[in-house]
Amino acid sequence: MAPSLENNPAFNRIPPWVKAKLRPQAIEIIQRVYDWVETECIPAERVVQAQLQNNRWKTAPLIHELRKKAKAQGLFNIFLPNHFKESPGLTNLEYACCAEIMGRCYWAAQTMNCHAPETGNIELLAKYCNDAQKEKWLKPLMDGDMSSAYSMTEPDRASSDATTIACSMKRDGDELVINGRKLYGNSQMNDELGIYILMGCSDPENPNPWARHTMVIVPARSKGLTMKRNLTIMGYDHAPEGHGEYVYENVRVPAANIILGEGRAFEIAQGRLGPGRIHHCMRLIGQTERAFELALIRCIDERKKPRGKLIGEFDSNIERVAYMRMRLDSMRQIVMNAADTMDIMGNKAGRYAIAQSKVLIPKMAADIIDECMQIWGGQGLTQYTALPEMWTYARFVRLADGPDSSHAHQVGRDQMKTAKGFETRHKQYQQRYHELCKQWNVEEDIF
Amino acid sequence: MAPSLENNPAFNRIPPWVKAKLRPQAIEIIQRVYDWVETECIPAERVVQAQLQNNRWKTAPLIHELRKKAKAQGLFNIFLPNHFKESPGLTNLEYACCAEIMGRCYWAAQTMNCHAPETGNIELLAKYCNDAQKEKWLKPLMDGDMSSAYSMTEPDRASSDATTIACSMKRDGDELVINGRKLYGNSQMNDELGIYILMGCSDPENPNPWARHTMVIVPARSKGLTMKRNLTIMGYDHAPEGHGEYVYENVRVPAANIILGEGRAFEIAQGRLGPGRIHHCMRLIGQTERAFELALIRCIDERKKPRGKLIGEFDSNIERVAYMRMRLDSMRQIVMNAADTMDIMGNKAGRYAIAQSKVLIPKMAADIIDECMQIWGGQGLTQYTALPEMWTYARFVRLADGPDSSHAHQVGRDQMKTAKGFETRHKQYQQRYHELCKQWNVEEDIF
Amino acid sequence: MAPSLENNPAFNRIPPWVKAKLRPQAIEIIQRVYDWVETECIPAERVVQAQLQNNRWKTAPLIHELRKKAKAQGLFNIFLPNHFKESPGLTNLEYACCAEIMGRCYWAAQTMNCHAPETGNIELLAKYCNDAQKEKWLKPLMDGDMSSAYSMTEPDRASSDATTIACSMKRDGDELVINGRKLYGNSQMNDELGIYILMGCSDPENPNPWARHTMVIVPARSKGLTMKRNLTIMGYDHAPEGHGEYVYENVRVPAANIILGEGRAFEIAQGRLGPGRIHHCMRLIGQTERAFELALIRCIDERKKPRGKLIGEFDSNIERVAYMRMRLDSMRQIVMNAADTMDIMGNKAGRYAIAQSKVLIPKMAADIIDECMQIWGGQGLTQYTALPEMWTYARFVRLADGPDSSHAHQVGRDQMKTAKGFETRHKQYQQRYHELCKQWNVEEDIF
Amino acid sequence: MAPSLENNPAFNRIPPWVKAKLRPQAIEIIQRVYDWVETECIPAERVVQAQLQNNRWKTAPLIHELRKKAKAQGLFNIFLPNHFKESPGLTNLEYACCAEIMGRCYWAAQTMNCHAPETGNIELLAKYCNDAQKEKWLKPLMDGDMSSAYSMTEPDRASSDATTIACSMKRDGDELVINGRKLYGNSQMNDELGIYILMGCSDPENPNPWARHTMVIVPARSKGLTMKRNLTIMGYDHAPEGHGEYVYENVRVPAANIILGEGRAFEIAQGRLGPGRIHHCMRLIGQTERAFELALIRCIDERKKPRGKLIGEFDSNIERVAYMRMRLDSMRQIVMNAADTMDIMGNKAGRYAIAQSKVLIPKMAADIIDECMQIWGGQGLTQYTALPEMWTYARFVRLADGPDSSHAHQVGRDQMKTAKGFETRHKQYQQRYHELCKQWNVEEDIF
């Protein structure tokens, strides 16, 4: 039903340099993802809404069915980059093209098991778990048989600086005893939730602040673990996944659940967050494209003719549409480059490109979607379109995985370190200027 | 319980020129409104939430009680400017100071019967109704015995250009027969809703597009009138008032319900919207002040110390706080000037000042609140604070009573009309330049 | 020749509250200033340019003549507020209306001896000098017989933090011996320059950093004082006043030239800068109004019809014009309020309002003028209009008298001090919430 | 003298995907361009300034010498893309890397004959001239023996809509007789200027507005052609190239000078402007990188410590630096993609990518440079650095080759044409939703 790749807009917007890097098998998957999202997901959005109305904390039956179908068709877990042995084989760049398309529908990624926090968690488990752990947790996650949560943020700490994380983990024999409070991490109310990947402080006195923390897998129904409330985001409950606020009171977990080793949480955290951040950004672009399409559709709505002109006939809106288009395409360049950088140089070397995406894209996305809502006029903020949910998701990503400012500070501090080199270079210019003044018999201008 | 006026921040922020215009009785009322909001409203916010949880479409019992108390204390209807005989006696400027304080709590204005759309409707009825109509509808509204809705926007029209309003009103004997669809206007689900003030098209063939429309009072439970859905705003249902989407099918209303006369809707509309727009802006300022306070509180939260510093110790946040403060105070100057202009020159002459407020304030408010949410980090978008509701309200006002662009276009077109005068003046400069060149013996520079 | 006050745009834009405060004699002066600027100054702009072409570092003869005329007509020194005995009698607010008009022409203020740095210097001398000093320096400055410079900024210090000022002043008998480098302060090349008001460090070891500095009057042709270069601003030499870069080498000045006393520079500095900052802002508004008029004139230029429409017929430009108008009027509110606050509460209490103007106005002015240049298209950046000079002046003021960020930081730090009070208040809300929960039998929601 | 490519910042900032496309010979040229700019150009900036002081309208001797050297070293004309037979062989993308480096010094491109308007003109002549014309004009231009101007803009037309160009060209035998006024195009005062490529209207009555105009080569010293004034840009005379304002009075030119044929100007114009626009953007990025380096150097200047901290130790500046860095790198992605798109798909298909660069880059560049000036404090706007010239150039490019809005309108109109397709698609979603509702037994939600 969906238009074929050659004349489909999602494919045409891919920059030439990216297209040139896509292997035939990737192009085929992109086309299949596009058909899937256009045919199975977008038209079903209101069906899913209706199903959730009845049973707020259960995955909608339609989504369950789609997950089965997608798995059967090999469209499952395609986010996992090709350097993992469990990977279906796409590069980060190739997956980026898929992720953008998935972003067009809020839950499309979920039908392909490519949604947050699953992707970050699966990549983490694939990278750092031993075989026994993988068998126990990675397999069911990749099979889509359970879901997982990532639990780091705390209400009583500035979690953007993860060294302040305080949730206490004390070793007691071959168990860890956990006490503390956590924010975010999916809601316990959804009974498909199987595990939390929890970051806590196991060695608070360690002189090295990067060696104090540990990551451990906590079964979702552990004794002593209670969910205090579901966190709403701009009023949305985000059911049936939700965002829990948790209290740990003497929760006991086998030490065998520790990932990589005690005190190695930062090693893991650094590896985890890169791709996850990029996935968010990729999907945001797809979502913003869809918002843009909705704005365009409004622009030619014959029922809306203030002062006798279509909305799209106003020069001011023509300019708005142009700037939205140009910004959107800039966003894509930024994210595609980050994905490509990860492919070529690895996640660690790509840290800056990832931060650049994480800081710039969600803000631009939210701004563009906001403008689309405004173009829609009186109906722009209502349930007439998915624009309000889209804005909320973009806004949310400005805080998820660290607020803008913490990433910007990291980038800024790194830049400051380069200043010395430029100063040295500047002095070399001055020295050469001195020579040139002599050579050309010009009076030196000293500042 | 609230601090006395001399050292209360809400009073201290009032610009000196405004303070100098406040009469002693007004100052007393401002103090009383302040005490009321600080003691009765803000601390009760979560109580009202809890009560609404149980009975979503009924006014919360606490609010009912506060309304009774406020009425008994003479804090009811104080928005109605002193040129109305029904007015408690404040000027627009004096009321502006009260409205800002009311804005600190989402529903505080309602406890004093100073909320939208009541204020606009009451002012409309007071201004344009005959005595019989006033007795029937104005009285119960001012007594707080029923609530009202304003119904103009349509799903199938560009309602920012009200001449396109299509809802059909046909005279049949001494009745009007109404057919059409309407958006916005409070929800029928709340049984306190008594009437709609409806704008429709009664004479579509009239060559004068400003004489085609009529305003009429429609009882809320009229036969043929059905509510299709409650409109959510960024997902919020805004219960128990809500925003309805309505279908009129052969709804019959007595012609006696027509306000001012057939074909005179625009005469009324123009008079109505000015003060209402300003009230929104005033309250937005109070709300933004409260958001700002919440951000400041976060800035000194001892639990939040990324990189070892309080959030408020970061220079970047010091600058942010400064800009928020300076913009907030600019907003107040703009709105206070609009209120004062209405007092001195009337609503019509104040049209530009009102538009200036309507366009600039909601955007600034939304931006500042957005920044406050960001300062709050991981909890910023959640139910930890009222910031998400605050942002949503500010965002909503950018569309309510006409989108930004329709007001801006009006202002812009008016400005363009002044161009000719400046051009003439410019030619006079050139003529005088010509003389001066001769006088000073300087060669004329011709462009 | 200029339109009478009732229908002149400069007067009509004054907010009603300001108009109500203008005394008849002030209104008369505003009218005269308007006539003066419109008739004598604006049309003469290119004449002055031509005269300066011939003699770059001499005040243009036309300006000399206008200064004589203005003085004869009592339009001299009108900036000096009425609390000085030397004042012609206007309040800061009344003068604000004049200053805006003066700002319409770059050098109009100079014809009335109301230009920077003269106004700040005259106010400083009037406030802090003894009678002998006044006779010697204040009188000729107010008579327009010489000009003065203010010299504080240093190339080797972060002068936005004036406590770092290093220029050495050593007492030697009844002389001060001065060594150091200074930036800014008018150019020595103009032989009308009579004195520098110099800030230096006379007591570097004083434990109180606010008591280390001294202000002294330095005759412009002092031995040992050399000007190294004229500083250009965005390439403009700003002749014939200019901006000098100076070296002091054992410059000797009588101790009698010290103002107020050794170590009291900060006392003086604080008093000086307020009004000067506001004057800049006032003039910037007038200048921006003129830029706006030029943009409007372009909007109806019959020769410019891209795609068959006048520039002013594009909806996008209609919106631009509207936002420029609304921002401009906001700027005026902010500055007028600052002037009024100084009148009512004094310069010190007005510090915040002054900072608010200083930070917000120049940026807005530069942005609006930039947009006006853009509306002018290909000719927008050229000498076709004075827009480039206007932009440069507005941009300059973002750094003159302290960069934006130093003022913003001051405001921000002051705001942070208020956080504690709001936190306390917040706790009181919580306490009352606790009571209300009991009263209404609602479960308390604890965060 | 310059650092080798591996550890040179200009090379390291090139995105991985671009690096992968650079051929070894291109990498070698990039390194040589870098050495050239760092060693021969940047340190010589003030020498050139001093030389121009003496002889304002002659190319500086130092630049003359560098041009000879660069030509000898094969660094001449490297901008001409490899699909021209006259090309030294770089692709647009490869040249983009060179152009960025050239942008670090205002006149570095000129030393390599890669400056505007030469590059656009050479490409035009190479593409559209016959052999005789090439021999006469292309050869000396590529040899660096004369310079050329492009003359299209008119003072009496909205030249952003080139169909309004009015300069009259009438055929008289085998001559064209030209009458009209032109703005821009280099100054006649520089005697190296050899020709104008002039666009005029030769067939005003042609019903096809795109066939009315002709391009012709006008010798610089033609009879009847006079330069009225040199246009300054923000006060800069841009000598010795300048920008002329011209009057054509019966200027006679051989018809053999017509390029491509009468009435074919638009065909030529379209082909010309793409690469020239991209060159501007590429150079702007290099220039902005240098501004950024200057800001960083200021950040660690030990003499500047307001409140005891280096400028770069303020969190606010750390954030500023981060955002500058991230925006700069976004700009590079956008331009590199445009260059690559031209390489792969041709100039015409690259039209959108070119417009995207042209609209977004100059604005970002100007904003970043403006921030760098602000970071420099009191010296930021003066001749202490080249920042003011840099800002002015970036600002200029927002108008050169068409103002932002004309490009944005073109993009916007093209986007509006895609609306219909999305509307159709939206209806297909609705149809499928209808089916899904039946399948899942869910009530259809009709809007």
Residues of A in contact with D359 (CB under 8 A): 322-323, 326
Which residues of chain D neighbour B316 with C-beta distances below 8 Å?
A: 314-316, 318-319
Among the partner residues C62, C300, C416, nearest to B419 by beta-carbon distance: C300
Mutate to test the interface with D, among C106, C234, C385 (most CBs of D within 10 A): C234
pLDDT at D72 over 50: yes
Which chain A residues are Cβ-neighbours of C315 within 8 angstroms? 314-317
- Whether D318 sits inside 8 A of B318 (CB atoms) is no
Beta-carbon pairs below 8 A across chains B and D: 16
Segment C243-269, tens digit of pLDDT? 999 999 999 999 999 999 999 999 998
Give every residue of chain B whose pLDDT is below 50, as ranges: 1-2
Q: Do B234 and A399 touch (CB under 8 A)?
A: no
Q: Average pLDDT, stretch A158-164?
A: 92
Question: A249-279 pLDDT, tens per residue?
Answer: 999 999 999 999 999 999 998 776 678 889 9
Interface test with D, best of C229, C382, C384 (most D CBs within 10 A): C382
Task: Say if residue C395's pLDDT is above 90.
Answer: yes
The predicted model gives A62-80 an average pLDDT of 97
Q: Partners for B (CB, 8 Å, 3+ pairs)?
A: A, C, D
Q: Which CATH architecture is the domain B147-259 placed in?
A: Beta Barrel (2.40)
Token pair recorded at residue C86: 């030397």
pLDDT in tens, C20-43: 999 999 999 999 999 999 999 999
- DSSP output for B371-428: HHHHHTGGGTTSTTSSHHHHHHHHHHHTTTTS-HHHHHHHHHHHHHHTHHHHHHHHHH
ipTM value for the complex: 0.96
CA–CA dist C319, A319 (Å, integer): 11
Q: Do B333 and C337 touch (CB under 8 A)?
A: yes
B403, closest residue in chain A (CA to CA): A377
Q: Cβ contact (<8 Å) for C408 and B16?
A: no
Domain at D267-415, CATH class: mainly alpha
The whole-number pLDDT of residue C1 equals 46
- Contact residues on chain C for D160, CB-CB shorter than 8 A: 306, 377
CA–CA dist D326, D320 (Å, integer): 10
**pLDDT band for position C273 (50/70/90)?**
low
User: How large is the average pLDDT for residues A106-119?
Assistant: 96
Q: What is the pLDDT of residue B6?
A: 65
Label residues A45-84 b or e (16+ Cβ within 10 Å = b): bbbbebbbeeeebbbbebbeebbeebbeeebbbbbbbeee
Distance CA A419, CA A245 (A): 43
Query: What pLDDT, on the 0 to 100 scale, is given for residue D1?
Result: 46
Determine which of B92, B160, B337 to mutate to test the interface with C (most C C-beta atoms within 10 Å). B337
Contact partners for chain C, using 3 or more CB pairs closer than 8 A, are A, B, D
CATH top class, domain B267-416: mainly alpha
Chain D partners within 8 Å of C49 (Cβ): none
Q: How far is C316 from chain A (nearest CA, A)?
A: 4
Which fold, B5-143? Butyryl-Coa Dehydrogenase, subunit A; domain 1 (1.10.540)
Residues of C in contact with D382 (CB under 8 A): 231-233, 243
CATH of A267-402, one of 2.40.50.140, 2.30.130.10, 1.20.140.10, 3.90.1150.10: 1.20.140.10
Interface of D with B (CB under 8 A): 155, 314-319, 447
Amino acid at A202: S
β-pair type (C193-201, C213-219)? antiparallel
**Residue of C316, C321, C444, C446 to mutate for A, most A C-beta atoms under 10 A:** C316
Which band of pLDDT confidence, cut at 50, 70 and 90, is reported for residue C60?
very high
B·C CB contacts under 8 A = 229
**Tens digit of pLDDT for each residue in A186-241?**
999 999 999 999 999 999 999 999 999 999 999 999 999 999 999 999 999 999 99
Interchain contact, A319 vs C316, CB within 8 Å: yes
Q: Which of C319, C323, C375, C443 to mutate to test the interface with A (most CBs of A within 10 A)?
A: C319
Instruction: Look up residue D148 and give its DSSP letter.
Output: E
- Residue B281 contacts residue B362 (beta carbons within 8 Å): yes
CA distance B184 to chain A (A): 8
Q: Do B157 and A303 count as a contact with CB atoms less than 8 A apart?
A: yes
Domain C270-417: assigned CATH number: 1.20.140.10
Nearest to B319 among D155, D316, D447 (CB): D316
Average pLDDT over residues C212-228: 97
* Angstrom distance (rounded) from CA A421 to CA B52: 62
Name residue C253's beta-bridge partners.
Answer: C176
- Nearest chain B residue (CA) to D183: B447
Task: Give the pLDDT of residue B277.
Answer: 87
- Domain ranges in chain C are 5-143, 147-259, 270-417
| pLDDT level of residue A10 (50, 70, 90 thresholds) | confident
Chain B nearest-CA distance from D316, in A, is 4
Q: Please indicate whether, in this complex, the C-beta atoms of B322 and C409 are within 8 angstroms of each other.
A: yes
- Across the interface, whether the CB atoms of C305 and D378 are under 8 A apart is answered no
In the predicted structure, residue A121 carries a pLDDT above the cut 50: yes
CA distance B304 to chain D (A): 17
Biggest CA-to-CA distance, chain A? 87
Q: Which long-range contacts (CB under 8 A, 24 or more apart) does D299-307 make?
A: D299/A416, D299/A419, D299/D375, D300/A416, D300/A419, D300/A420, D300/A423, D303/C156, D303/C157, D303/C158, D304/C157, D304/C158, D304/D377, D305/C158, D305/C161, D305/C164, D306/C158, D306/C160, D306/C161, D306/C164, D306/C406, D307/C161
Supply φ then ψ for residue D49, to 5 degrees: -55, -45
Residue of B nearest to A304 (CA): B158
Q: Do D235 and C231 touch (CB under 8 A)?
A: no
At A6, the pLDDT band (50, 70, 90 cuts) reads: low
Question: Cβ of C234 and D381 within 8 Å?
Answer: yes
pLDDT tops 60 at residue A1: no
Query: How far A319 CA lies from chain C's nearest CA (Å)?
Result: 7
- On chain A, the residues whose CB falls within 8 A of the CB of B155 are 379
Task: Give which of A304, A315, A367, A413 to mutate to test B binding, by max B Cβ within 10 Å.
Answer: A304
What pLDDT is recorded for position A59? Answer: 95
Query: Which pLDDT score, from 0 to 100, does residue A269 have?
Result: 84
**Mean model confidence pLDDT for chain A:** 94
Closest CA relative to residue B39, chosen from C431, C432, C446: C432
Angle made by CA atoms D298, D299, D303, in degrees to the nearest 5? 65
Least Cα separation, residue D236 to chain C (angstroms): 7
Are C381 and D374 a contacting pair at CB < 8 A?
no
Distance separating alpha carbons of residues D99 and D108, to the nearest angstrom = 9
Neighbours of chain A (3+ CB pairs under 8 A): B, C, D
Q: Please name the member of B411, B415, B426 whose beta carbon is closest to the beta carbon of C297.
A: B426
Instruction: State how far residue C397 is from chain D, nearest Cα, in angstroms.
Output: 10
Do the Cβ atoms of C382 and D233 come within 8 Å? yes
Whether C200 contacts C214, CB under 8 Å: yes
Nearest CA-CA distance, residue B104 and chain A, Å: 19
Chain A residues touching residue C319 (CB < 8 angstroms): 316
Across the range D217-224, mean pLDDT stands at: 97
Residue of B277, B333, B431 to mutate when probing chain C, most C C-beta within 10 A = B333
Predicted local confidence at residue B1, as pLDDT: 46
- Chain C residues within 8 Å of chain A (Cβ atoms): 155, 314-319, 447
| Cβ distance of D319 and B316 shorter than 8 Å | yes
Instruction: Determine, for residues B374 and A405 on separate chains, whether the beta-carbon distance falls below 8 Å.
Output: yes
CA distance A318 to chain C (A): 9
